Amino acid sequence: MLAEGSDGQSGTSTTPKDWKEKEGCPGSSLLKDLIPLGTEESAMEVVLKKIWELSDSDQRDPFMVADLGVLAFRHQAFCQALPRVSPFYAVKCNNSPWVLRVLAALGTGFDCASQVELEQVLSLGVAPSRIIYAHPCKPISHLQYAARHGVQLLTFDSEEELTKVAQHHPGARLVLRLWTEDSKSLIRMSTKFGARLELCGHLLKSARDLGLAVVGASFHLGSGCRDPHSFTQAIADCRRVFEMSRGVGHDMSLLDIGGGFPGVEGSEPEFEEMARAINAALAQDFPEGAGIEVIAEPGRFYAASVCVAAVNIIAKKAVLQPGGHRKLLYYLNDGHYGSFRVFFRDRFPRMPIVVKEFCSKPPLFPCTLYGPTCDAFDKLFNEEVQLPELDVGDWLIFPSMGDYSAVMSSTFNGFLPASICYIVGPELRYLRRAQGSELGTGS
């Protein structure tokens, strides 16, 4: 088993023993031993076991259990539903070295957004050709790093970016990122990134005049895309750009359909419905046999269901509302400035699992879930949720916490990020690291 992040740094680790005593977390290099799970065991069971172990202790810090085996299932599901699309995992979503290492071994490519993400992926021995630097507005020093390390695929959406690339990375293989209609996505990107179709002809000519090669077109519908037909329109727009590029002299052969796929099963729309819309659009606008390579940048789809989070109630208040109704305020030891920052963008609260036994079905009360810091903004949801009466020391479990959680957590107010314990099921034991040595399983 490997625990990570208790000192706030992704990639640091503790032994299973240290995991109990988080303060002792050394900044050591990656441990080679992951705890192998039995075939019947799940991450949820590991979480419950850990909570049980802590039941006599006052040391009840927040923690997550990450089941790396989930990555193999998600990869299989992705490849089955979208057989023409090669996934380039979006590192920003969960940059744990273990997640990246497993994905590298599974053979995905990577979408990096900065020099540090490039360094992380390259350090695993991933070939630069399996990386796209998919940030349309790059710092010059990061661009120079990409050039020095042979990362050639870069996205752009403006003339100013082309000028920088011509000066600092003239050998780049550029991918033009298009503006998309993403009003139905949970997290919209189109206000910040993407070139309008009307501007694309001009950008393609500018690139040519600067001696730069544009090899493809891309889009990203924003995280949590809720309309499969947004893909249809965006893919049709890319085809227009491919047509334009021929007249300008670029040889385009790469289509990048970005991320935005749902992280958990049962999302609306279902991933399968989205995949059907994408496959149909590809068949129409980029038929097989035309020599077009199609890639995507899924983040959440892979990472969300990897982690289960456990948080503890550190304080509680009961208040009487007008009409004499009781409302409960729970203060948790992880919150908006920790693993839960992404929650404030969700449409609906994600309900936790309550770890407490009741003799009969307990009454529910309107509750506000606050994080541990002094900031009033530090709460998990804006809305109240209905929960039973709980006590200080009780635990709540949140499944599907692997996406945009640890990567976004801070040490604000001195509260350390949740520690993460990595486990691996039998499905991954055969894998080999990108470097060729075996993934350590401790078995």
Ligand X SMILES: Cc1ncc(COP(=O)(O)O)c(C=O)c1O
3-state secondary structure of 26: coil
Total residue length of the chain: 443
Segment contacting ligand X by CB under 6 A, of 18-26, 58-66, 257-265, 391-399: 257-265
The stretch among 198-206, 246-254, 294-302, 433-441 that binds ligand X (CB under 6 A) is 294-302
For residue 224, give the H/E element and its range. Answer: strand 223-225
Distance CA 99, CA 120 (A): 11
β-partners of residue 255 are 217, 294
CB of 117 to ligand X, least distance (A): 12
Minimal distance, residue 153 CB to ligand X, in Å: 13
Question: Which residue, 299 or 335, is less far from ligand X as judged by CB?
Answer: 299
> Does residue 374 carry a catalytic annotation?
yes
Residue 161 contacts ligand X per CB under 6 A: no
Structure tokens given for 410? 């801070």
- Looking at 47-55, 206-214, 297-305, 389-397, which segment touches ligand X (CB under 6 A)? 297-305
261 binds ligand X (CB under 6 A): yes
Give me the amino acid identity at 36: P
By CB under 6 A, name the one of 3, 93, 174, 428 that touches ligand X.
93
442 Cβ contact partners less than 8 Å away, ≥ 6 residues apart: 1, 32, 33, 34, 35, 36
Size of the site for ligand X (CB under 6 A): 16
109 lies in the binding site for ligand X (CB under 6 A): no
46, 70, 72, 90: residue in contact with ligand X (rule CB under 6 A) = 90
Stretch 210-239: interaction string toward ligand X, x if CB under 6 A: ----------x--x----------------
* Secondary structure (3-state) at 220: coil
Residues near 56 by beta carbon (within 8 Å), at least 6 away in sequence: none
Strands 307-320 and 63-67, bridge-based pairing: antiparallel
**In this structure, how many other beta carbons lie within 10 angstroms of the beta carbon of residue 79?**
16
Residue recorded with tokens 């693993």: 339
Instruction: Tell me which of 299, 402, 417, 425 binds ligand X, using CB under 6 A.
Output: 299
What is the Cβ-side half-sphere exposure of residue 271, based on CA atoms within 13 angstroms?
20
Looking at residues 330 to 359 of the shown chain, list those that interact with ligand X (rule: CB under 6 A).
none
DSSP string, 344-385: GG-SS--PPEEE---SSPPPEEEEEEE-SSS-TT-BS-SS-E
- Please give the Cα distance from 193 to 182 (Å, whole number): 11
Cβ distance to ligand X smaller for residue 93 or 103: 93
Stretch that binds ligand X, among 76-84, 86-94, 144-152, 244-252 (CB under 6 A): 86-94
* Contacting residue, 226, 300, 341, 379, with ligand X by CB under 6 A: 300
CB closer to ligand X out of 92 and 173 = 92
Q: Is 260 in the site for ligand X (CB under 6 A)?
A: yes
Facing residues of 295 across strands?
A: 86, 256
Give the footprint of ligand X on this chain (CB under 6 A). Answer: 90, 92-93, 111, 134, 220, 223, 258-261, 297-301
Catalytic residues: 374
